[in-house]
Amino acid sequence: MIAFDVLILGSGLAGQSLALRLADKLKVALVTKRTLEDSASAWAQGGIAAVLDPVDSTESHIQDTHVAGAGLCDAEATRFVVENGPRAIDWLIEHGVPFTPDSQSSIGYHLTREGGHAHRRVIHVADATGAAVQATLTEQVRQHPNISIFEQHIAVDLITGDKLGRPGEGCLGAYVLDIAKDQVLTFAARHTALCTGGAGKVYLYTTNPDTATGDGIAMAWRAGCRVRNMEFIQFHPTCLYHPQAKSFLISEAVRGEGGLLRRPDGSRFMPEHDPREELAPRDVVARAIDFEMKKHGLDCVFLDISHKPAAFLEEHFPNILARCQELGIDITRQPIPVVPAAHYSCGGIVVDLHARTDVAGLYAIGESSGTGLHGANRLASNSLLECLVYSESAAADILAHPRPLPSGLPSWDESRVTDSDEAVVISHNWDELRRFMWDYVGIVRTTKRLQRARNRLKLLKREIDEFYSNFRVSNDLIELRNLVETADLIVRCALHRKESRGLHYSRDYPEPQTRARDTVLRPTR
């Protein structure tokens, strides 16, 4: 048994910022499936939204968040995040994040504007904000003597008092597979934090890294936590369409800086779909692109910013320009082929303002959590802000409420399982899951499609549970088990919602109901 004060599962911005906020006073274990650098946070291009400009206001940011969230944003959580936003940015600056400077700006940094925002309030590092933030914090995490890093380790499941017949003890740690050694370790912890990111890999096309398999959401559900609003999956409107460009997204900021969406014949279409045109929220833009592709039988549409000076593009979008050039696309002279792709999970594990879940000692931060901030649709660049604000409040709560170190935790039992000789079962089920989720639970939904998906999921869950019970765990099996669990939660939430709101669009219920309500699922004990 390996014991720590705090066990953090996941190494994105939520996990790393929490670790750094705690490590001066507590012993922290940071567990990551690959390396510290592999996370959705590192892929974030646009930036972090916060009220920094004197002409902007907290109330404006709150209002923009509510409008994007289609009336479903939690008012308390939204105000909490927005009001604490400037301090979160200060914390990053103090830690050395090199935000793009602007000598003409009153705050000394360049602020960009993205879809859904009334003001320029997105602070950024060129077009690779997440990578810059992650690199800055990773260096400090690796150097901190109180942070023990476990790379190439994946959590199998949480250990709770309820599972051990010790009710009331809450979360006691987790079983973790050392992938390289093929050995399951027992981690005991006073506090455990799920910073495991989203579930984009449940879909065939996604902007997410391969690690986004819904692990935290599935583990929390199995541990007895509620989840909410899982039906609201944000599809990024503009993922680069190219056979060699896996999961490369074209930042929201490209449209914010004047990029125009066009059909193959060069004609624009966003003015026909929304008065905000290219600056409409992501769900509107994604549905418009989906509509145009299906109506005209297109493989993709085109995002054109070639009318901007080349020097402007080199300054603001150096990474997008370079990646496109590698693929033979010169964005200074030609439009970028794009398609929508699953991008962000707006719902997740129910938490309070301290990131506490329903299980004592268990926290959830970032995309795996359901704070209520994003409502039915996330406002651009609010996600990294949420990670920072909730990691601060969780750290304060952990330090203020010490818990005893768990003892007597049983080791992982492999006495009744064998090595699998049918790995094809995992790969086949993984492929089938992602394809029918894309076809049946995508941008536009129907009740019949959702019911088909639910029926397939019941069969897949049965097969995977049987496989899990009889064979030794592997990285692929753990991820597939979590993906199927998370997919089922998405479909169940979607079937509960008898309306179209935000990211959930149903042909059977095209109008929103008068009152916006959360979809909350409770696990049966």
- For residue 244, the model assigns a pLDDT of 85
Task: Please report which residue ranges of 300-382 form alpha helices under DSSP H.
Answer: 310-316, 318-326
Q: What is the pLDDT of residues 357-402, one digit of tens each?
A: 999 999 999 999 999 999 999 998 999 999 999 999 999 999 999 9
- Find which of 6-20, 194-208, 410-424, 465-479 is predicted with most confidence, using mean pLDDT: 6-20
| pLDDT exceeds 80 at position 246 | no
For residue range 75-117, what is the model confidence (pLDDT) as tens digits? Answer: 999 999 999 999 999 999 999 999 999 999 999 999 998 888 9
CA dist., res. 386 & res. 81, Å (int): 6
Query: Catalytic pick from 282, 378, 434, 481?
Result: 282
Vertex 63 angle, CA 257 and 490, to 5°: 85
pTM: 0.91
Structure-token match 């400090």, residue found = 140
282 is catalytic: yes
* Contact criterion met (CB below 8 Å) for 241 and 249: no
% of the chain with per-residue pLDDT over 70: 100
When the pLDDT of each residue in the chain is averaged and rounded to a whole number, the result is: 94
Summarised one tens digit per residue, pLDDT across range 131-158 is: 999 999 999 999 999 999 999 999 999 9
β pairing state of 171-178 and 183-194: antiparallel
Helix residue ranges, H only, 23-156: 40-43, 58-68, 75-83, 85-94, 129-143
Ordered structural domains, the chain, with CATH: 2-98+125-231+346-400 (3.50.50.60), 237-342 (3.90.700.10), 424-511 (1.20.58.100)
Reported residue count of the chain is 525
The whole-angstrom separation of Cα 17 and Cα 34 is 18
The per-residue pLDDT for range 318-329, each reduced to its tens digit, is: 999 999 999 999
The SS3 of residue 181 is coil
pLDDT in tens, 488-499: 999 999 999 999
Count helices and strands (H / E) in the chain. 15, 20
Q: What is the C-alpha separation between 216 and 219, in angstroms, rounded?
A: 5
Q: What is the 3-state secondary structure (H, E, C) of 250-282?
A: CCHHHHHCCCEEECCCCCECHHHCCCCHHHCCH
Q: How far apart are CA 58 and CA 523, in angstroms?
A: 37
Query: Mean pLDDT, to the nearest integer, of 249-258?
Result: 90
pLDDT band (50, 70, 90) for residue 525: low
